[in-house]
Every structure is written in C-alpha cells, then in structure tokens.
C-alpha cells in the first residue's frame, strides 16, 4: 500500500498541529503486523488521529513503514517483532517501555492464513495448522502479557484482537480451513478469558472482524476481497474511539455490528 500525496498531506497537517509533540501528551497505540495490508492502514489511521504509534514489523523488505516514518518522525516507532518468538516479543515490549510509561490501546493484528484447502477426507497439513495457532492465537497472548503493565497504566485501556467471522462457532458453515478457523475461534475464547480477568482493572477487550480485506493474507494480494484495507482500518478506529456500554467482551465487525461468538 503506497501513500498518496493527499494522505501524506493529511499526516503533515496532524504533525504540524501537535504543538510541542510531547509523547506524554499523546495517546499511544501498539499494533502488530504493520508492514502491509490492514496493519499498515491501522498505523496511518491512528497517526491521523494524533496517536503515538508503536508498529510491529516482521517483513523489513516492505518499505512502506520506513517511508511513513520519514514523514511523521517520532510519532511513529517501528519495532522488529516476531509474535511467535518470546524473546522478540519481550524486546519489543522493553523498547516501548523505554519510550512511554503507559499504553492506551493494544491491537493484536499479526496473523497468517495458509493451507486453505486441507480436507478431512484427503490431506491435512498439521504443521501449517500448528503454525497458524502459534501466530494467530499464541502470538496475541504473548504480546498481551508482555505489554500488560503499560496497558494497565493507560487511559483508554483497550485490548483489541483482530479476529474473524471465521472464528464464530455459532455461525460456522465451513467444511475445511481448519487451521485458520480454529485458531480464530481460540482467539475469541482468549478474548473472553482476558475480559473476565482484566475487567476489574478497567480493561475493555474487543474481538474485531475486519471484513474480507484486500490484503496479502493468503501469500499474495487478494483481488477477490471486497473491503479496502483503509476502509476497514478507519472503521475499526471509529469503533474504538467511541464509548461502548456493553458489559463484557465485544465481538463486532469493522462497521460496529455485533457478531455471534
């Protein structure tokens, strides 16, 4: 995703209007999986809202984050992050802690989607399924645990897991895609468990379906998808920046519609 001159101009306008640009005066968000697609679009949307953004990067060969960094400077912090590696996750958390004493929003966005065609009657790639669990389910849990002390010091205290309608047990009509659907269903359960535990500290947990986003989730750009990454990101940010009165974990799509668990 390349940035248009209009988008760059909008970012410059926000930067110019920040006054002294003090990190202490800015809200903060930590987003994983930011090199391209939805993650990159979320970075841009939060920058537009005046947030200081900590962006996890796993694919350094993609230049967009670095190009954006040149435009916005210290408002964007790029972190090397592999959510499947506990040491990488902790190093990223340590780096954030050196910059800010609090975190307002955590968005666990990093995910993979492989082996879509595995069939119980034919062949299942259990290694691919295990890798999806490692990234899509355990990755968010690692990141959440690593940064929780800062999140508890934040003002907003929003914990966001980018899930999927594919993780809905109630509405499932699929007959395959075992790794992705099961890993997202497990992520939804993780979201409920976290809400049950962290509610007492004022944390609100969201599981959000971003829509069928045009992205590289399948290994190459998916032209059959129906939702632009920028539209999904803007919708997600809009949902997160408005008050939610639901008492408990929230499973919604990027437009704010409630989904079945």
Catalytic residues: 180, 184
CA atoms within 13 A on the CB side of 191: 31
DSSP output for the chain: -PPPHHHHHHHHHHHHTTTT--GGGS-EEEESS-SSHHHHHHHHHHHHTT-EEEEEES-TT--HHHHHHHHHGGGEEEEE--TT-HHHHHHHHHHHHHH-S--SEEEE-------TT--TTS---HHHHHHHHIIIIIHHHHHHHHHHHHHHTSSS-EEEEE--GGG-STT---S--HHHHHHHHHHHHHHHHHHHHHGGGT-EEEEEE--SB-SSTTSS--TT--B-HHHHHHHHHHHHTS----SS-EEEETTS-B---
Strand order in the sheet with 105-108: 76-80, 52-57, 28-31, 105-108, 158-162, 204-209, 250-253
CA 149/CA 151 separation, integer angstroms: 6
CA atoms within 13 A on the CB side of 90: 3
């Amino acid at each position: 995703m390349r940035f248009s001159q209009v988008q760059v101009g909008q970012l410059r306008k926000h930067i110019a209007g920040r006054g002294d640009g003090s990190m202490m005066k800015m809200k903060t968000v930590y987003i994983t999986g930011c090199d391209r697609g939805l993650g990159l679009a979320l970075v841009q949307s939060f920058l537009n809202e005046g947030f200081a953004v900590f962006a996890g990067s796993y694919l350094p060969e993609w230049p967009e984050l670095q190009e954006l960094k040149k435009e916005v400077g210290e408002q964007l912090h790029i972190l090397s992050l592999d959510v499947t590696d506990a040491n990488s996750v902790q190093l990223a958390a340590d780096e954030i802690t050196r910059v800010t004493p609090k975190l307002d929003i955590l968005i666990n966005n990093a995910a993979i989607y492989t082996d879509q065609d595995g069939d119980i009657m034919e062949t299942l790639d259990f290694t691919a399924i295990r890798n999806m669990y490692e990234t899509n389910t355990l990755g968010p849990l690692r990141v959440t645990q690593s940064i929780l002390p800062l999140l508890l010091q934040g003002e907003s205290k929003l914990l966001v897991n980018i899930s999927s309608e594919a993780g809905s047990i109630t509405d499932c009509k699929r007959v395959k895609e075992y790794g992705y659907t099961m890993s997202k269903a497990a992520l939804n359960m993780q979201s409920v468990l976290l809400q049950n535990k962290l509610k007492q500290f004022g944390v609100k947990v969201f599981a959000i379906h971003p829509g069928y986003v045009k992205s590289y989730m399948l290994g190459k750009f998916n032209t059959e998808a129906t939702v632009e990454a920028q539209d999904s990101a803007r919708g997600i940010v809009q949902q997160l920046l408005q008050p939610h009165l639901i008492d408990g974990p929230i499973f919604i799509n990027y437009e704010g519609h409630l989904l079945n668990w």
